[in-house]
Amino acid sequence: MRRILLLALPLCVVACSKSKELANVPIDIEYTPSFKTGCIVMNAQDEANAENTVEPIRITGDDLRKKTPPLKLGVIYKEGWSTRVKVTITAHEQNCGGKEVDRAERVVDLSGNGRKALETLSLVTPDEDGDGYVAKNGDKGGTDCDDSGPDAAKMYPGNVEVCDDIDNNCVGGVDEGLPKETLYRDADGDGTGGPEAVQRCLPATGWSKQSGDCNDNNREIGPHAQEVCDEVDNNCVGGVDEGFDKNWYLDEDGDGAVSEASLKVQCQQPAGYIRRPPNLDFDCRDDQPFNTPGKQEICDDRDNNCINGVDEGFTGKGDSCTNQTCTGIKVCNSAGDGLECSAKPPKLFYPDADGDGDGNSSAAAAKVCEGQTIPQGHVENLHTDCDDADPATKPGAPELCDAIDNNCVGGADEGLTCNGTLKKVPDYHLTSADQDWKTVSMGANGYPVWIAGTGGKLAMKRGAGQKFESFSFGDPTQAPTDGSPPRHASNCGNHDWTVSWMDSGGRVFLGGSGGWIALHNGDPALTCGPGTTPPRVANTPSLDITGMVGFEVGGATHIYITDVGGRLILWTLGAPEMTVLSDPGAGAVELYGLHGLTENLLLAAGGTVGGTAGRLRAYTGGGTTVVPHTASANASSDFAMAVWMGAEDKACAVGEAGQAWRWGSGTTTWTRGVLPSGSDDFSSVVMRYDRANPSSSVNEQCYMVDTNSSKKLRRWTPFGWAKDVDLPSTANRAMRDLAMNPTGSEFWIVGDDGRVFHYPEP
């Protein structure tokens, strides 16, 4: 402060009064702190008279290096000057004679006495590199061309220019005046520069006289390097990874041939990829191992060799063809070495009329091609059924005691003990040639059995293992079993018996020609005498009796009878005479058969001469109401001759010329079936129906005999005409009547000339 005051003293007027304080102005000079080499000069000049000046104050480098901004100076009023003084501050680089780098001016007011307010002036004098040269600042500032860069210490005026890519002397630019040649930037220092050429001096670090480096930022890349496969052009020749196979392909189906579309170009082998095998074309189907270049072409609907398409060389493929009756097109065979017809052979379906799952063994197969409709009522392949109209008969079916070969093996009843077979009954009282048996009645288990016929013939067998007893008119005296004297057989007279019915007590009711009826209880001591044969209907013609069925209700026995006059007659046992329930009138209808399970529904069979009406009819309400039924026939002269109810809603009827009809409840129409031979005149029928087992497969089978000496027991099921039951060869006469239990395990057949057949007969 002392020096500053001394430097400021020359501004004071020498002759000023000492008793009076002089006016003065303190001045702070701010400057860049790095300004240590140079000079700051302060000048003062009377603003009113420019000739009034003082000696400048100079602060040189020696003082600047000892100080820090601001410099503190001052101005004191000088007598003879005006009170306004212009103060000028300048800064010079190097020394006080160097280039002025900045200037600041201020007019201060020295009027009055004492110290005035502080004045501050600022100079911009940067010298960051401390070389004594201030940085340039447009038209002001110093001469230093780089005051703060990394090479600032090497760049200042007066320095010697050397080849180092900087303007050492801050004159004429970089490396001016030095010899130059063509060089290339070698940024990575590998000795080879990039493609861009420059003219510059030597020596030159980071430059090369050789060009050709394709990546001057990596010293490992350049013409000197060896090319490796790394997605980089290591040697800067021929592009990236030249000389390396970078093509990888997918072999999805594993057949060794690759897919062209799957190409991946890279150095590293991708997972699942391989190189394309030499001398092997691309795979035409890489999702199938069946298609591979070089393979042999076979016929398999694939392009095996990937040449010329699918199955080339197999001419005719796709042409139409026939496999038996089925049409298709020619396709590859299973071996792949030729063609075959696409049509599968037809499946064979055989008629299964009875629905038992086994086809008719003797029927021709229906050939059904793929896509065609299977014929209704047919089964595939299986055709071992020996009787396709009988659901109880087929291979594997249980063999039954019924005189039928149920399992189609070994004949009827094989392997069973049925207590006999179907044979003619060898009995003295049955086999005479003059014995024409017309009717038979039997108990539920086959016994007792009554047979009757023309000329008053009547015989009874009480049980299995017993002989028939004769109750025929005119038979010789029999020896009683109790030791009593011989006597004539009890008989019911010399009448032609044609129908019969047996009650639960084993008594037989008989009906015959001329309207005769009788009752016999099987007692040899009795005859069909008074009390057993009621009078015929009073005042009516004595017509031949054709049908009979009885019912035991509430202790009473009711016998219903039909005759050739179409009448329905009720015989109540014990009543003085019979009652005519229905009389259609002479010639209206003829009836030949009657059956029923209850008095509420009776079915009758017959016909009208020359007409089709009246063949079958129903009687309801105890026979008081007639319900005509419809049953067609081949000709108007064909009569229904017999009828049988197996259940309350099931019945069969038979007639002339092989006619047969079937009926179910809820309708008055009968379904007709004609015996294939078409000539037999059926005389009797029963329906096999086990009412204790309604679902039995043997139910609804209708058995019938005829008058044409056919030696057959005919069977008609709901599915058609089943195989006949063969009768013995002696059944060569007309058969007249048939009796059978519901299960078919016991039956009797009677006919002309003493023919009586039984199953099972020991």
Is the pLDDT confidence value at 11 over 50?
no
* Range name among 25-29, 247-251, 676-680, 744-748 with the lowest pLDDT average: 676-680
pTM comes to 0.62
Residues in contact with 341: Cβ distance below 8 Å, sequence separation at least 6, in sequence order: 321, 322, 323, 328, 329, 330, 331
For the segment 454-510, what is each residue's pLDDT rounded down to a tens digit?
999 999 999 998 999 999 988 765 555 555 544 456 788 889 999 999 999 999 999
Query: Rg of the chain over CA atoms, in angstroms?
Result: 72
To which residue do tokens 């026995």 refer?
Answer: 557
Q: What is the pLDDT of residue 183?
A: 85
For the segment 259-280, what is each residue's pLDDT rounded down to a tens digit?
888 899 999 999 989 888 888 8
Q: What is the pLDDT of residue 356?
A: 93
Q: What is the pLDDT of residue 9?
A: 38
- For the segment 91-99, the average pLDDT, to the nearest whole number, is 91
- For the segment 178-204, the average pLDDT, to the nearest whole number, is 85
Do the beta carbons of residue 299 and residue 338 sit within 8 Å? yes
Q: What is the pLDDT of residue 12?
A: 39
- For the segment 723-741, the average pLDDT, to the nearest whole number, is 94
Structure tokens at 475: 């038979």
Q: What is the pLDDT of residue 744?
A: 93
Is the pLDDT confidence value at 5 over 80?
no
Percent of the chain with pLDDT over 90: 49
Q: Is 128 helix (H, G, I), strand (E, B) or coil?
A: coil
- For the segment 624-649, the average pLDDT, to the nearest whole number, is 85
If 0-12 CB within 10 Å is exposed, 13-18 middle and 19+ buried, where does residue 128 land? middle
Do the beta carbons of residue 629 and residue 663 sit within 8 Å? yes
Is the pLDDT confidence value at 111 over 50?
yes
Alpha-carbon span 85 to 661, nearest angstrom: 160
To which residue do tokens 């690759």 refer?
Answer: 258
Q: What is the pLDDT of residue 1?
A: 30
The whole-chain average pLDDT of the chain stands at: 87
Confidence band of 20 (pLDDT split at 50, 70, 90): very low
If 0-12 CB within 10 Å is exposed, 13-18 middle and 19+ buried, where does residue 73 land? buried
Q: Nearest-CA neighbor of 742 among 702, 687, 683, 696? A: 687
Q: What does the longest C-alpha to C-alpha distance in the chain come to?
A: 217
Is the pLDDT confidence value at 530 over 80?
no
Confidence band of 14 (pLDDT split at 50, 70, 90): very low
- Give 157-222 as a DSSP string: TTPPP-SSSS-TTSSSSTTTTS-EEEEEE-TT-SS---S-EEEEESS-TTEES----S-TT-TT-S
- CA 29 to chain CA centroid, Å, is 101
Alpha-carbon span 258 to 59, nearest angstrom: 91
Strand arrangement of the beta sheet that strand 320-323 belongs to: 320-323, 326-332, 339-341
Considering 291-305, 572-586, 747-761, the range whose residues carry the highest mean pLDDT is 747-761
- For the segment 708-715, the average pLDDT, to the nearest whole number, is 91
Is the pLDDT confidence value at 582 over 80?
yes
Q: What is the pLDDT of residue 483?
A: 55
For the segment 47-78, what is each residue's pLDDT rounded down to a tens digit?
999 899 999 999 998 888 888 999 999 999 88
Q: What is the pLDDT of residue 432?
A: 77
